[in-house]
Structure 1
Amino acid sequence: MERISISLEEGLVDQFEHYLRQRGYRNRSEAIRDLIRDRLETERVTQKRSTHCVGTLTYVFNHEERELARRLTHVQHHHHDVAVSTLHVHLDHDNCMETVVLNGPTDQVEAFANSIISEPGVRHGKLNLIPVDVETQRHQHGSGAHQHTHSRPQT
């Protein structure tokens, strides 16, 4: 592992120390590595529009809002090729949170996320993407050989 040093203004250091405490980091290096990885992943996804990705879309909505739950289900069915699984959580009597696991070409995943987030009544929508390389392999699982794809996180 290579060691680097950086200089920061006092105010930025204070904010960073607060960030470390809030998130439970044990040292600055771990936090800086995570921040750098997050930024690089974001850049990689935004620069390579045709790449494949995995990710999650999390959003909050009021299930009592007129036809919203039906519209959200319709959007998920319309994008069944990228929406792998959905976790639905009841937050209170009116509000629900859903997290959708996504897998597919980045442009299609983003289109799905945008169509959900832009639905009237959806609040706090957040898309998190991780770029992956897709490999098709033929190998043995159990009693027979078969072919399927693997999504490998890019390094």
Structure 2
Amino acid sequence: MEKDVLTRFGVSMPEELIKQFDQYIAERGYTNRSEAIRDLVRKVLLEPGGLKADQLVAGTIVMVYDHHAADLPLQLIELQHHYHHDIISTMHVHLNHDQCLEIIVVRGLLAKLRELQHKIQVQKGVLYAELSVTYLDERGAGQGHADTAEHHHS
């Protein structure tokens, strides 16, 4: 695998901001500012609001809900069955007597994943539901995991 060509550029910041940034870098174990800036740029580029609806992505939908809300657990299961092609895995955690946390690992078109997240969020009894994109498939639409004939991990 070839190394990416690095491009140097200068950044001007107020002195107080750079002090705060250097503290941020030290607290997170970065060895230099460049590594931290690269990670921050990657994170910003993966924010769902900045991506196109037809992009293939992977990430998680995290939700917290009241499992005593009428029919909510069944509604959430039905929703997940409807979107089963986009769901890779789920993890369910009992937070306390009333609340559950569920993490749904998803992969597919951003528009469909946003749609699923929205349908979850509007259910009565859902206290929190957020889509977090952690991977952008650079190959584009129609080249998703399910379309791949071979799949290897090194």
- TM-score, normalising length: structure 2: 0.73
**CA deviation string 1:103-145 (max 9, x = no partner):** 2222111111111122222223221123213548xxxxxxxxx
Q: How many residues align?
A: 141
Please identify which structure carries the higher strand content. 1
**CA deviation string 1:64-113 (max 9, x = no partner):** 22222122112111211212211111122222111111122221111111
- Counting only pairs closer than 5 Å after superposition, residues 6-155 of structure 1 correspond to structure 2 as 6-20=11-25, 23-42=28-47, 46-129=50-133, 130-132=135-137, 133=139, 134-135=142-143, 148-149=147-148
Higher relative contact order (CA 8 A, sep 6+): 2
Could you tell me the percent identity over the aligned residues?
35
8 Å CA contact 1:90, 1:96 repeated in 2: yes
Aligned position for 1:140: none
The residue identity in structure 2 corresponding to 1:28 is: R
- TM-score, normalising length: structure 1: 0.73
User: What is the CA RMSD across the aligned residues, in angstroms?
Assistant: 2.9
Q: Return 32-41 or 120-129, whichever deviates more.
A: 120-129
**CA deviation string 1:34-91 (max 9, x = no partner):** 1101112337x74422222222111111212222212211211121121221111112
**In structure 2, distance between residues paired with 1:151 and 1:135:** 12
Structure 1 stretches lacking a partner, 5+ long: 137-146
**Distance 1:20-1:64 versus aligned 2 partners, 3 A rule:** farther
**In structure 2, distance between residues paired with 1:91 and 1:85:** 19
Task: Give the C-alpha shift of residue 150 in structure 1.
Answer: 6.6
